[in-house]
Amino acid sequence: MKISRELKTGIVAVAIIALFIWGYNYLKGLNLFDAPSKTYFTEFSDVQGLNTASVVTLSGVEVGKIIAVTFNKDSKKRGWLIVEFSVETDLEFSKNSIAKIYSTSLMGGKSLALVPSYEGEIAKPGDYLPSEIEADVIASASENLKPLFEKVQSAVVSADSVLVGLNEFMDAKTRADLKSTIEQLNATMLNFNTISKSINEMVATNKDKLGNTLTNTELMSNNLAKLSDSLANSNLGTTIKNLETTVNSLNGILANAESGKGTLGKLLKDEEMYNNLTSASKELDELLREMKLNPKRFVHFSLFGKKDKGYIEPESKIEIDK
């Protein structure tokens, strides 16, 4: 059978039209040869660069495509964007599932992830799902580093204030004084080094003498230790005990004397005995004085044996105080 030129031309024209339709839909993200899909909607105030070339994923697996991104015509949600996306027909999830925009790479590519929820009413084609935007790595890092940047900025401001105050404080005179202080400190360190060298030389020179001194000190310590052992082994305890007994006896004697017992106690406490002893002492003193002034009255001595005339009473009688 011979095909006419007109039929061939018609077939080619239909194929071109079909290819054009398929290409147009493919560029929009729709593949006419894919399995049937369900269409859902979600809303964002900012789609972060999401477009019709982006895909829809579930647990990292591609399950659909973005069909269209249009502005919401509702006056109450002016400026919001409606995202229409398709999902394979064999997937079921509830209306509580979340459509979340996330970054696919560090270059800023965006996709829509479906976070399914199986609690509640099952979502039907044409339903609106809650939306969410996941912060990308750069935004998250910037958000986490923001407090650190603020602290660094505050520290820089504080350091700048300190430096300004230091510059105001460090005038020409203060800098000169500080320089002089540092020079004096250097001189002190040099003197200290000189003294240290002198001490080292002195120690090196008198090394033998120091050794002998330490040896003598060690011998003295040993002798003291031996003396301590000797005292510990001697009858020092018995001697101390006897001394304690003697002290106790002396304390008893003093206690008796204080209470008026015994001769010593009566001598200390008996006033009459004291008066008698005082009177006797005075009489003895008068007697000794009289013997010194008139010895012939008391002593008679004759070389040729003269007869004793006896005692002659003095003209005046000496009164002795009693």
Mind listing the pLDDT tens digit for each residue in 249-268? 888 787 777 777 777 676 66
> What dihedral do alpha carbons 161, 166, 168, 174 form, nearest 10°?
180
Taking residues 222-238, what's their average pLDDT? 73
* pLDDT confidence tier of residue 316, bands split at 50, 70 and 90: very low
Taking residues 78-99, what's their average pLDDT? 88
* pLDDT confidence tier of residue 319, bands split at 50, 70 and 90: very low
Continuous H helices in 75-206: 137-169, 172-205
Q: Which residue has the higher pLDDT, 240 or 17?
A: 17
* Residue 271, pLDDT score: 73
Collapsed DSSP state (helix, strand, coil) of residue 62 = strand
Amino acid at 305: G
* pLDDT confidence tier of residue 284, bands split at 50, 70 and 90: confident
Collapsed DSSP state (helix, strand, coil) of residue 261 = coil
How many residues in the chain?
Answer: 322
Distances (CA, A) of 250 to 46, 254, 258, 260: 114, 6, 12, 15
Q: What percent of the chain has pLDDT over 90?
A: 9
Sheet holding 81-88, edge to edge: 37-44, 81-88, 61-71, 55-58, 110-115, 98-103, 131-133
CA distance 127 to 92: 13
pLDDT digits (tens, 9 = 90+) for 105-149: 766 678 899 999 988 899 898 999 999 988 765 555 666 667 777
CA distance 86 to 57: 11
CA distance 296 to 311: 10
CA distance 113 to 135: 13
Q: Which residues pair with 41 in a beta bridge?
A: 84, 128
Q: Which residue has the higher pLDDT, 29 or 159?
A: 159
Model pTM score: 0.38
CB neighbours of 113 closer than 8 A, spacing ≥ 6?
Answer: 56, 57, 58, 99, 100, 101, 102, 134
Q: Is the pLDDT of residue 151 over 80?
A: yes
Q: Is the pLDDT of residue 42 over 90?
A: yes
Q: Which residue has the higher pLDDT, 199 or 136?
A: 199
**Domain map of the chain by residue range?**
34-134
* Residue 128, pLDDT score: 92
Q: Which residues pair with 191 in a beta bridge?
A: none
Taking residues 244-248, what's their average pLDDT? 86
* Residue 2, pLDDT score: 66
Counting Cα atoms < 13 Å in the Cβ hemisphere of 243 gives 6
